[in-house]
Homo-oligomer: A and B are copies of this chain.
Amino acid sequence: MSFKSFNPPVRTLMGPGPSDVHPRVLAAMARPTIGHLDPAFVGMMDEVKTMLQYAFQTRNSLTMPVSAPGSAGMETCFVNLVEPGDKVVVCVNGVFGGRMKENVERLGGIPIVVDNAWGEPVDPNKLEDTLKINQDAKIVAFVHAETSTGVRSDAKTLVEIAHRHECLTIVDAVTSLGGIPLKVDEWGIDAIYSGSQKCLSCTPGLSPVSFNERAIEKIKRRKTRVSSWFLDLTLVMGYWGGSNKRTYHHTAPVNALYGLHEALVMLQEEGLENAWTRHEHNYRALRTGIEGLGLQFIVREDSRLPQLNAIAVPVQVDESQIRQLLLSDYNLEIGAGLGALAGRIFRIGLMGQTSNLKNVLLFVSALEEVIARLRLPVDRGAAEPPALRA
């Protein structure tokens, strides 16, 4: 056995995440490790909390990054808020709504599914109808930005409906935070989770979450213990909480938090609204390019996520071959379809640092070249290097 240091290729990350990480964030990751109870580190944690409150547009004091990827952020919401026997209305319009349902089941809750077609937003009327016949439901859960299909649901309206029926809300904002308008306090979202590696453009591995007072009340009134020690918020808050005395819970991922801190400093420098506008602006450029190639989005214009674009695979080409050529010849990563959409769509991320005009141009040009190459007769296709032929 004799392994060497790993030197990754330099890719352009236009898939569903991770997105491109700015050199400032990478540099922060490499700063000297200090202890997770060091006063200097605790001061940095407070700044991370404040900047996450800004990103989420909330004053919730229980706002912090979970020390694990987005799926653990999802689990943090469900494991703390759902007790065995709780009826939870889960709106499903893609992979991640399905994962929410599975979380409810594993915790002994009773999921009531509001089923929506993949590629369409959650239908508020369906939610309303479901809540009318499930008056004992306690929680409504849905995905704000469904990463598997590129669809935005109307979070504000869905939360309003849930509250009218006296339900708490759990919102998946993994792909929306930092990319499109998201206003936790104004919309009244009770519990929310996100990921570090999408529109925040940090490295993967952390999951920002936020809980309001109503959600905390439900946790305090639990009759059963939270099944997870690692994700039990009453314990985690002893470490991330507001008091000066931090008690040891687990060892925080120190350097990953340096990275998140730097990514949030950059978001603060740009301004949240400016970041939203930038994502919208570059989506429009992508749309022009995609339509120019005669390709089609699978999502209706008014429900599209500017940061994650699901494009129908053109007929007569093998989508995995296209992805492989983009990776091998252009160091360009795009995403495949998941579940029911596997093989049928590409997913083009324009998230965080990835969202810039240079990348749009690169992707549209490279895609055009690769499609042309695959449609050429084999003898001509093999004759010249692609860059010269394009």
Contact = CB atoms under 8 A, between A and B. Distances in A.
Interface of A: 1-11, 13, 15, 17-18, 20-21, 24, 26-36, 38-41, 44, 47, 50-51, 54, 67-72, 74-75, 79, 99, 102-103, 105-107, 195, 197, 203-205, 225-230, 248-256, 258-259, 261-262, 264-265, 268, 327, 333, 338
Contacts of A3: 47, 50-51, 261, 264-265, 268
A17 to B, nearest CB: 6
Contacts of A105: 225
B227 A6 contact: no
A40 B10 CA distance: 11
B259 A255 contact: yes
A64 to B, nearest CB: 15
A102 B235 CA distance: 12
Contacts of A28: 5-6
Contacts of A228: 75, 79, 106, 227-228
Given A30-B27, A227-B227, A251-B69, A6 B258 contact: yes
Closest 5 CB pairs of A and B: A205-B253, A30-B30, A68-B68, A71-B250, A203-B255
Given A67-B69, A71-B229, A248-B338, 6 more contacts: A11-B32, A11-B38, A26-B29, A68-B72, A69-B250, A204-B254
A251 B18 contact: yes
A48 B259 CA distance: 23
Contacts of A15: 35
A252 to B, nearest CB: 7
Contacts of A20: 33
Contacts of A50: 1, 3
| Residue from the set A11, A29, A259 with the largest chain B CB neighbour count within 10 Å | A29
A229 B106 contact: yes
A187 to B, nearest CB: 21
Given A228-B106, A251-B18, A256 B5 contact: no
23 contacts: A3-B261, A4-B265, A6-B44, A8-B38, A9-B32, A11-B34, A13-B33, A15-B35, A17-B251, A18-B33, A20-B33, A21-B32, A33-B197, A36-B204, A67-B68, A67-B205, A70-B250, A71-B250, A72-B72, A105-B225, A106-B226, A227-B227, A255-B256
Contacts of A44: 6, 8
